[in-house]
Amino acid sequence: MRDIVTGELTLDYFVRRASEGWRLASIEWVREQPGVAESEFAGKTLETHLPYGLRIAEGGQILEENPIESAVLLLILDQIVHEKRVTEIAHELNLRGYQQRGGGAWSPAAVFELLPRLIEAGPALLKSAAWRERNEKGRVH
């Protein structure tokens, strides 16, 4: 159960929930960010804010791997390992029919913007079965 509490939390609240058989699983803190206008997020879906390579799982409670975006990250990683420039990487993504999240062709700038995410996801990608399988075959396709 997800309980949104407005007002002050008290010890009575926790005692009452525990007596009803509930167990505390997590606490989430939320606050307004000064200087961030709500219109900044207008028209954007939650998907646009998700880390590249992940999607919302069925049921909406957790994130799971997005197979297509993960394939893009693996291809970019392989191309970097083979010392390809971002222009070459964008060209290769387009040749293979991959599109950006909102549709549209890959540009060198779009590839460059994914580099921080690739650094974040890199350790998991390098340990993945897909990466091992690609390296056993030689070159990534």
Give the residue extent of every domain in the chain.
66-137
For residue 24, the model assigns a pLDDT of 79
Q: Print burial letters for 10-42: b (CB count within 10 Å at least 16), e (below 16).
A: eeeeeeeeeeeeeeeeeeeeeeeeeeeeeeeee
pLDDT one digit per residue (tens) for the chain, 141 residues: 667 777 777 888 878 888 888 887 777 777 776 665 555 545 555 566 788 988 888 877 788 889 999 899 999 998 998 999 999 999 999 999 999 998 899 999 999 999 999 988 888 887 877 777 777 766 544
Is 0.85 surpassed by the pTM of this model? no
